Structure 1
Amino acid sequence: MLSHKTQGPDYAADGEPQASLQSVERAITVLKILARTGGAGVSEVAEEMGVHRSTISRLLRVLEARGMAQQNSGRGKYQLGLGILQLANSIPVRLNLVREARPVLEALAAQTGETVNLAVLSSNYVVNVDEVMGPSTLATQDWIGRLTPIHATSSGKVFLAAMDAAERSRVLGETGMPPTTPRTITSRQDLEAQLVEVAEAGYATVYGELELGLNGIATPVFGHSGTVLGAISVSGPEFRFDPRKSRTLVRELKHSAREVSRRMGHAEA
């Protein structure tokens, strides 16, 4: 008499079901796509991953239920949820950085009237981990959790200027220097020349390089060992915000960064 065995799931070498591992890998890929694009629809994600639309829809619903993704009702697209930021903030150094910087960011936004961001470097990209809107802010763009290109942001230039030549070559070699606007610097030689100025001046600027009509300025935040932990930036619309024309702005920004650095244990020489 023949016995019939119920077909069970396939297992990986470590004993985990293959289907479970595949779901985890797909969920992580979905989150990375949302981070890179700033927001995407079910069809867009499904097409990029080469997976059926219904599969992606189920994954996004689960991620949304866990707070890892949220749907923009206005556009019908998904973006990263606040749960991602909560996970990132569980990393002790970044948690401390956000906590210590918050009152300083609020004071700087009140002084300048513009949007102030705190950014860190993550996988060769710049990610804003906190943001304070100034009283003059017109737009409601939320940059928290969104990955932005390192060569096209003022904070990114701060990070690049702090790297040695080998590390900078590695990062730019991996990310490339694609244009996000007609003003984006795509020449390595031009960027290197600007980074020398950034290192000397202690701050970096952008003029419509990430978004047309948006200018920004950033300066580094140091940790106790003297390494760059993050960057504080101030941004605003070009019709009223030109960092080069305000020495007061540069002074206030540097003062704020020094205060956060001090709170993080950095002692100036």
Structure 2
Amino acid sequence: MSDAPLSKSPSRPVPAVVNALRIMKALSRADRPLNLTEIAQETGVAFATALNILRTLEADAMVSTPAGTKTYQLGLGLLQLAQSVPNPDPEAALRERMKQIATEFDCLTALWHITRSRVILRERALADRPLRLDLQVTQRMPVYLGAIGRIVAARRGVAREALRREFEALRWEDPVSFDRYWLEIGEAAARGYAIDAGHLYKGVYVVASVACNAAGEPVAGLSAIALSGSLDPARLTRLGEALRDACQTAGASSP
């Protein structure tokens, strides 16, 4: 008998899987739910085959039928699957967004690598404008300092007394009380981003959010830095939401 390895036969697409993917892609492109005839015409899948596939997908919530209609749309089961997809490099995903956020909100953005005890600056991005803010950002700092520290503490769920011990070693240009700091951690947990209103750096607002791994541990962070008064409350909220959304997309799990 020959010792030569057996050659693999060319892989053959499974027709049922191919047709199911065609149907789901057609639903994803549509701007409204589609009926069975439209799905069959759009995908080239036979009417009866499309119906059987749709019933199978609906049983697992991959597609759904709006109440009172005979139409189909993508279902929440797909969202649950997508949330389980790991992102091997959240910093790379955040790097793509940081320049856009810097330009959109006319601020400085910073990308952070998060360890157990410190955050380490990876890079900065400046607004793509002739006149733009540029500040020297600390290269590394204690993990619970500033806006990034508040949201890290919120995501880790650090107990109050344990955090108080960490807080005593933190240094601020304009000191904040622990009670206020603790309150702002609760606010950060609720909205998905934290704000430091001139405490870390006097006269400077810092907004931050973090991307977490599958275990819920913060691994990367994105912060935006702007002069106090340069962002009205509504714009500050939009900035925080932009950072939060970028981090949710980059992370393996959502808050």
Given the two structures, how large is their TM-score scaled by the length of structure 2? Answer: 0.56
1:79-228 equivalence runs, <5 A: 96-122=89-115, 124-135=117-128, 138-143=132-137, 146-166=139-159, 169-170=161-162, 172-174=164-166, 176-182=168-174, 184-185=175-176, 187-228=177-218
TM-aligned CA deviation for residue 178 of structure 1? 4.3
- Greater mean alpha carbon deviation, residues 199-208 or residues 135-144: 135-144
TM-aligned CA deviation for residue 105 of structure 1? 1.4
TM-aligned CA deviation for residue 221 of structure 1? 0.9
Return the letter of the residue paired with 2:165.
Answer: G
The 3 A distance-change label for structure 1 pair 242 and 126 is farther
The 3 A distance-change label for structure 1 pair 254 and 110 is same
TM-aligned CA deviation for residue 220 of structure 1? 1.9
Q: Contact between 2:87 and 2:250, CA under 8 Å: does it hold in 1?
A: no
TM-aligned CA deviation for residue 156 of structure 1? 0.9
Q: Contact between 1:108 and 1:116, CA under 8 Å: does it hold in 2?
A: yes
- Aligned counterpart, 1:64: none
Return the letter of the residue paired with 2:153.
Answer: L
Q: Number of paired residues?
A: 169
TM-aligned CA deviation for residue 139 of structure 1? 4.2
In the TM superposition, what whole-angstrom CA distance separates every residue of 1:132-152 from its partner, at most 9, and x where no partner exists?
Answer: 1113564433437x1234454
TM-aligned CA deviation for residue 236 of structure 1? 0.8
Greater than 6 Å deviation, 4+ residue runs: none
- Aligned counterpart, 2:223: 233
TM-aligned CA deviation for residue 228 of structure 1? 1.9
Mapped partners of 1:120, 1:94: distance in 2 = 15
Q: Contact between 1:114 and 1:234, CA under 8 Å: does it hold in 2?
A: yes
In the TM superposition, what whole-angstrom CA distance separates every residue of 1:21-54 from its partner, at most 9, and x where no partner exists?
Answer: xxxxxxxxxxxxxxxxxxxxxxxxxxxxxxxxxx
Q: Percent identity?
A: 15
Gap regions ≥5 residues in structure 2? 1-85
Mapped partners of 2:88, 2:202: distance in 1 = 32
Q: Which has the larger radius of gyration?
A: 2
In the TM superposition, what whole-angstrom CA distance separates every residue of 1:204-230 from its partner, at most 9, and x where no partner exists?
Answer: 101111111110111221223332222
Mapped partners of 1:125, 1:248: distance in 2 = 27
Given the two structures, how large is their TM-score scaled by the length of structure 1? Answer: 0.53
Return the letter of the residue paired with 2:206.
Answer: G
Mapped partners of 2:157, 2:238: distance in 1 = 30
Q: Contact between 1:216 and 1:243, CA under 8 Å: does it hold in 2?
A: no
The 3 A distance-change label for structure 1 pair 106 and 240 is same
Q: Contact between 1:161 and 1:196, CA under 8 Å: does it hold in 2?
A: yes
Q: Contact between 1:180 and 1:210, CA under 8 Å: does it hold in 2?
A: yes
